[in-house]
């Protein structure tokens, strides 16, 4: 029963495959990444000017949503609160929120409305870690910017109060913004995991409020166990890495996963990070994810004024151009029932096999075990028929089928897909 409910709510997620991660908050002002307060051991006071100065006059999430759609993305996840504790939403439980900045409005509300209007699914990231809340442990905590400081040593932290605050904010997010499709908690470590967050209770409340919301696996349960905890989540969240063989649980069953990947080297806006992945790298990464049963959640870090960096936009539009012609080899696709071929990767939807040709050698392209099993072959980008033939060399190539291209060199710079 629980298993079937889980599979049902994961349905869209396993079809859509490609989403936009959005890391946005006060850290866009210092523009050195979202960990800046921790890395530079800034006190709350030292960080306060960013709250005073935050004034996203260019924030127009409809443009973000259009960009995401243009890139071929089908859903998004935005940081409602990151580790610095700043809330982009109008929480009744704190004054440390966007409505009290020059923005003067609920940035989450506008995001949710804009993305929904473009037909995209809407997710929210919520940080379990909170460097601003007075009851979040700082002295013993290796993650806290004020770790070890005398002021914090003296303070009385009542962690229970933090847990109620956190549960209360999750309740707000799942009550005030309509249907939320993904809830992306981040993250558990050391003793800070599972029931430390009162995770069973939290997930019971979440399921009560929004039975279909998908939850990531960062509340600290074991999603790979034969019988995962109630709070183990719906999907695994490998970060900055693509799992070599996909992800299976202890029983050997495939586990849904979503790789989250940055476009440059930071999640939050960094003014001088120009180290961008190319569209080709992103596309091949997405293909790799789907070929291993996974999703790609690709990050953008809007700047302090609320604009997605030009370079990110450029890459996303280029990805979108490929997706427009080749999207049917991604959406609704999963790992194929054939091993990874020498020249690239396979994805598959039902009886349609998609050959992603990433590398062309000399001569025709060989498809193992496909002899007699292919009705027709088309190049996906333009619908052109691809000439396929059974072996001309008898015994030596038993079971193989070959695709012949008239060109000496197939233009497969990014990925030529044959359906």
Q: Which residues lie near ligand JFZ (CB under 6 A)?
A: 34-35, 186-187, 189, 239, 260, 267
Rounded Cα distance between 170 and 384, Å, is 50
- Calculate the alpha carbon distances from 131 to 30, 81, 148, 149 in Å: 17, 11, 14, 13
Q: How far is the CB of 24 from ligand JFZ (least distance, A)?
A: 11
Min dist CB 268 to ligand JFZ, Å, is 7
Residue closer to ligand JFZ by CB (options 129, 349) is 129
Give 35 or 231: the residue with its C-beta nearer to ligand JFZ: 35
CB of 63 to ligand JFZ, least distance (A): 23
Q: Would you give the DSSP letter of residue 334?
A: B
Neighbouring C-beta atoms of residue 358, cutoff 10 Å: 19
Q: Is the backbone peptide bond immediately before 275 cis, with ω within 30 degrees of 0?
A: no
Shortest Å, Cβ 269 to ligand JFZ = 12
Q: Which of 187/343 has CB closer to ligand JFZ?
A: 187
Q: How far is the CB of 315 from ligand JFZ (least distance, A)?
A: 19
Q: Which is nearer to ligand JFZ, 34 or 415 (CB)?
A: 34
H/E stretch holding 2 = helix 2-9
Query: What's the closest the beta carbon of residue 133 comes to ligand JFZ, in angstroms?
Result: 16
Q: Which is nearer to ligand JFZ, 35 or 197 (CB)?
A: 35
Check residue 195 and report its DSSP letter.
G
Is the separation of the CB atoms in 417 and 378 below 8 Å? Answer: no
Answer for the pair 315, 20: CB distance below 8 angstroms, yes or no: no
Number of residue whose CB is nearest ligand JFZ: 187
Question: By C-beta, is 9 or 81 nearer to ligand JFZ?
Answer: 81
Please name which of 61, 62, 60, 51 lies closest in space to residue 28, comparing C-alpha atoms. Answer: 51
What's the token pair of residue 187?
């993250």
């Amino acid at each position: 029963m629980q298993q079937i409910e889980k599979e049902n709510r994961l349905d869209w997620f396993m079809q859509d495959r490609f989403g936009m991660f959005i890391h946005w908050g006060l850290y866009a002002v210092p523009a050195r990444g979202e960990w800046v307060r921790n890395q530079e051991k800034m006190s709350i006071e030292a960080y306060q000017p960013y709250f005073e100065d935050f004034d996203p006059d260019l924030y127009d999430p409809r443009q973000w949503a259009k960009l995401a759609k243009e890139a071929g993305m089908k859903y998004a996840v935005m940081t409602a609160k990151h580790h610095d504790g700043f809330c982009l939403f109008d929480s009744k439980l704190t004054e440390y929120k966007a409505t009290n900045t020059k923005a003067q409005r609920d940035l989450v509300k506008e995001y949710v409305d804009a993305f929904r209007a473009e037909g995209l699914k809407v997710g929210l990231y919520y940080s379990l870690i909170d460097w601003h809340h007075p009851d979040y442990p700082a002295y013993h905590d290796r993650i806290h910017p004020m770790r070890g400081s005398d002021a914090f040593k003296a303070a009385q932290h009542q962690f229970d109060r933090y847990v109620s605050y956190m549960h209360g904010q999750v309740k707000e997010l799942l009550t005030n913004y309509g249907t939320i499709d993904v809830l992306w908690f981040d993250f558990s470590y050391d003793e800070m995991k599972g029931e430390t967050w009162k995770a069973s209770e939290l997930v019971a409340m979440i399921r009560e409020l929004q039975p279909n919301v998908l939850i990531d696996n960062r509340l600290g349960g074991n999603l790979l166990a034969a019988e995962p905890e109630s709070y183990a989540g719906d999907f695994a969240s490998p970060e900055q890495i693509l799992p070599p063989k996909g992800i299976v649980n202890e029983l050997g069953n495939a586990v849904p996963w979503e790789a989250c990947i940055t476009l440059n080297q930071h999640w939050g806006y960094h003014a001088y990070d120009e180290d961008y992945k190319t569209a080709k790298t992103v596309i091949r990464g997405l293909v790799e994810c789907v070929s291993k049963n996974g999703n790609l959640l690709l990050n953008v870090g809007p700047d302090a004024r609320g604009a997605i960096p030009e370079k990110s936009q450029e890459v996303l539009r280029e990805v979108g151009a490929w997706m427009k012609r080749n999207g049917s080899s991604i959406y609704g696709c999963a790992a194929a029932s054939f091993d990874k071929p020498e020249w690239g990767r396979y994805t598959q939807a039902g009886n349609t096999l998609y050959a992603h040709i990433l590398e062309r050698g000399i001569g025709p392209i060989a498809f193992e075990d496909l002899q007699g099993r292919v009705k027709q072959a088309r190049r996906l980008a333009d619908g052109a028929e691809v000439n396929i033939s059974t072996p001309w060399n008898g015994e030596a190539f038993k079971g193989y089928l070959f695709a012949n291209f008239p060109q000496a060199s197939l233009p497969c710079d990014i990925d030529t897909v044959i359906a």
